[in-house]
Structure 1
Amino acid sequence: MAGEGQMLRAAREEKKWSFMDTEDTTKIRVRYIQALEEEDYGILPGATYVKGYLRTYAKQLGLNPDEIIELYNDSIAPEAGPVLESPNMLVKARPLWVRPMIIGSMAVLAIVLAIAISVNQSGKKVADSPYSPPALPSAPKAEAVTPETSPTKTDDNTPGPNSPVVSNPENVVAATQDGLTAQLVFTQLCWIEVRVDGQPPFQGTFTAGTTKEVKGTSKIELLTVGNAGGLSVTLNGKALPSLGKSGAVVRNVVLTSDTLKSP
């Protein structure tokens, strides 16, 4: 251990904060707080989030964030670069004279065939072929277009039985689409944890420019959004308001059919 976890734990115990008190103050989940103090960074979403959590935790404890980040950087082992392996098979190169020789042989063969065909055609007269091409199909006749009758109205301006029914396109889409479909568009690096219809949640880190489609029957829950300003949500074709600012952590955003009815 490089020491940053021990410094964080010592500062927390000096303030006599429990893990729940620390979560309420820093807005960092308890299991991530324990991981930071034990320097077990494997369960966190990535290095970007590790540094962000360390900086936030250090500020709340009254420590120097830059010192904590420097200790963390010292604890990271440099990643080994990719090893390039040379192919075992050797490709044999053809001599430079092979291709011109092949092209020349093909040209000579084409000339011989052309001469043979011309001599054969000059000595024989091609017989008239009994084949006659079929007649071309005639163009289809244009059908007369009957103008549609205008909608009838009664004396009190009430639309008659032939009047068209006008409906709102957004209402039609929302009414005819079964279940819930959430389109998640990531404009910035963002870590997210999602649960659908009460099933076990899934999580992941998404880079800017990526999208993810989540489908459910009755409920889609955004349990944690690590960067609220980097995520745009569209539910059944309806764009939802922004979840928050860049860098803000948002929890327990519930999407149901009632969400579509809200303005």
Structure 2
Amino acid sequence: MARFGEILREQRERKGITLEQAAEDTRIREKFLAALESGDHHALPGAVYTKGFLRSYAEYLDLESTDLVALYTAERVTTPEPPRTFQPMRPVMRSGVFISPTILVPVVVLAAVVMFVGYLSYQFASFATPPRIELLEPAAADTLARESEYIVRGRTVPDGRVTVRVFPGPETISDIRPASDGTFSATIKLRPGPNHVEIQVLDAAGKLSQVNRSIRYEVVAERTPGPEAPAVVVEQPAQGGTYTNSGVPVSGRVERGVVSLTVNGAPVTIGADGRFTDSIDYTAGTHALRFIAKTAAGAESAETRTVTVSFTAAVVTIRIEGGSAWLLARVDGKQAEGTGRVFEAGAVQTFTGKQVTIRTGNAAATQVIHNGELVGALGTAGQVVERTFTFQ
């Protein structure tokens, strides 16, 4: 055993230090410390590293590092190194793909066949497909026209030739050349009634496409001027007006020459100055009032107003018709002013309250309207009748 190695081992054992602990403390691998103690020069790294390990290990064990390094150097010189063996170099093999002619030729032939078949398919489709026609006007299969001249517009292949035929007739417009974007147009003449229109396109390859349309030409009859319609001005009611607990007032004026005026079919009296005024009873709800004025020549004009009627009490309108009648009215238990006397035919009285009681001495002449609804006569001629009306 080498002398410097024995010194190291004996000193370590003298201090009671294990080889594992020494490796941990010196940060030198345990196998190198074991090689130093055994003098195994072949297990140690190069001389420079070994001398460094030796100095650190000697100082760790409190030994003179210089003397130990000298011993290591002397022993290393006298220890022969084992012969080195060399492995012969292997040739570098590079991977790659080698395509032989036996593989390449079939692949090229197959690719050529596929391309040829694709070319034939494209050519066949080109020659077999007829030219497209997109009809812009008329777009629908059935169209209604109000004028005798009609413009047919569409889009097709730019190299096509368009022909338009109209039946009955027939009228034919041929050799219509589309623009560069394929658009075309043609003006045709229509006859009253149904017209069958054929639009054909012939392309450069001789393929033909056709689209059919039906156009009905309706002649609008000219109206023969009639008598001039009379003017009617409705002042009341206002459009959209609301009326509560009352009849709907109607008033306005008509021009001279008007011989009759009705509101929803009911006649309205026209004054000598052309003005009219009245009040019409309607039930609760929304009502349309249609004013119709007529002249002796048969001309007429109309105006319409829409109103809303509502009630918050009992509204009782009394019309004395066909004779006179004694009349007494009580509103909410009190006698209404001006009643308790005889009213002549044509008199109209209206009473409003939660409860309205009417007593008449001639029931047949007493016509009653309650909240816009016609009740009618209260009884027979000369009959005394008392009737109470309330707001429901």
> Normalised by the size of structure 2, how large is the TM-score?
0.20
Q: Which has the higher helix share?
A: 1
Select the structure with the greater relative contact order (CA < 8 A; seq sep ≥ 6). 1
> Normalised by the size of structure 1, how large is the TM-score?
0.29
Q: Which has the higher strand share?
A: 2
